[in-house]
A and B are shown apart, each in its own frame.
Chain A
Amino acid sequence: MHIPDGYLSPLTCIATYAIALPLWLIAFKKLKEQLDETTLPLIASLSALSFIIMMFNIPIPGGTSGHAVGASLIAILFGPWVAALCVSLVLLIQALVFADGGVTTFGANALLMAFTSSFVSYYLYTFLKNKAFAPFISGWAGIVSSSIVLALILGIQPIIASVDGQPLYFPFDFALTFPAVVGSHILFFGLVEGIFTHLSYRYIVKNKIIKESVL
């Protein structure tokens, strides 16, 4: 799900950074408010979990692979802004230290993996709160919503940036991108994210690591 450098037109890179920048500032402020001696080990550990869970590449039929993100778990425990900042930090480290995801595409990657899934998971969770499977469904829907944004950002590239019918950046259109990206997340990675979110949430609440969700 990490868009590499060179896949997005410069305009897309600039636009996604421009949208992400004010959101990061708000998220950073929210994080500072919530960060204290008690929350720090937990917020940092959950961010570390997100980093680690993304290292588990899961092969699926069709010759590709993918992974969970871990944004949903943080979102339902600490709210969408903190979650989005934590996952943005993880993405930044991945881009700068491990060349996993581009530097020019970091804004786009943050919007789709950090912000989209955090907010979708959070609001769905507050809506489903008392349902037994709320964490699972929030996790599944969070990563599926990210994949929809990913498909939109990628699929639009050949339309906005082609010369003489030859694409300059990501070359495949919506018809190809949508089923591959969104379909694989509905069927596979969404389930992984859902199970991860659900089990981790139950574990955290059961062991009273955090009093019921702060929501």
Chain B
Amino acid sequence: MKKIFYPLFALLALIPLGLISENPAWAEWDTAYYQEVLGFVPKGINEAFNMKALMPDYNMSGINEVVAYYLSAFLGIALIFVFFYIIMIGKKVVK
């Protein structure tokens, strides 16, 4: 069972590779892109619901980009494991 963690650790170590691409994903552009391509920014996109996220774009001001990317990965994985453990505990309590 422990062996499932090896590829996870390996990918985790390699994660800065994910930062190499400067290209945004298709249809995940910022508003400047629309201004340039269409000559205007669609109203809905300009006035989009904007939530204050803890680490927007896997980044944190004042922290090195690569370090922030690692922190993001750790945080994400931690939250995932916490979620499943909570369900597990909930299941036992109900029993």
- Chain B residues, CB < 8 A from A100: 57-58
**Cβ of A180 under 8 Å from chain B:** yes
- Chain A residues, CB < 8 A from B85: 40, 44
Q: Of all chain A residues, which has the CB nearest B50? A: A5
**Cβ of A130 under 8 Å from chain B:** no
**Cβ of B32 under 8 Å from chain A:** no
Interface residues of B in 37-95 (CB under 8 A from A): 38, 40, 42-51, 53-58, 69, 72-73, 75-77, 79-81, 83-85, 87-88, 91
- Chain A residues, CB < 8 A from B56: 98-99
The answer to whether A66 and B87 touch across the interface, beta carbons within 8 angstroms, is no
- Chain B residues, CB < 8 A from A49: 7-8, 11
| A35-B3 contact given A52-B11, A154-B27, CB 8 Å threshold | no
The answer to whether B49 and A103 touch across the interface, beta carbons within 8 angstroms, is yes
- Number of A residues with CB within 8 Å of any CB on chain B: 67
- Chain A residues, CB < 8 A from B91: 32, 35
- Chain A residues, CB < 8 A from B44: 6-7, 9, 161, 168-169
Among listed A17-25, A121-129, A202-210, interface-contacting one:
A202-210
Interface residues of A in 44-100 (CB under 8 A from B): 44-49, 51-53, 55-60, 63-67, 89-90, 93-94, 96-100
Q: Of all chain A residues, which has the CB nearest B53? A: A99
The answer to whether A65 and B87 touch across the interface, beta carbons within 8 angstroms, is no
- Number of B residues with CB within 8 Å of any CB on chain A: 56
- State the majority secondary structure of interface residues on B: helix
Q: Of all chain B residues, which has the CB nearest A43? A: B84
The answer to whether B55 and A98 touch across the interface, beta carbons within 8 angstroms, is yes
| A181-B76 contact given A99-B53, A167-B42, A171-B42, CB 8 Å threshold | no
**Cβ of A137 under 8 Å from chain B:** no
Tell me the complex Cα distance, A56–B8, Å: 13
Contact of A56 among B17, B28, B42, B72 (CB under 8 A): B17
Interface residues of B (CB under 8 A from A): 1, 3-5, 7-8, 11-12, 14-15, 17-28, 34, 38, 40, 42-51, 53-58, 69, 72-73, 75-77, 79-81, 83-85, 87-88, 91
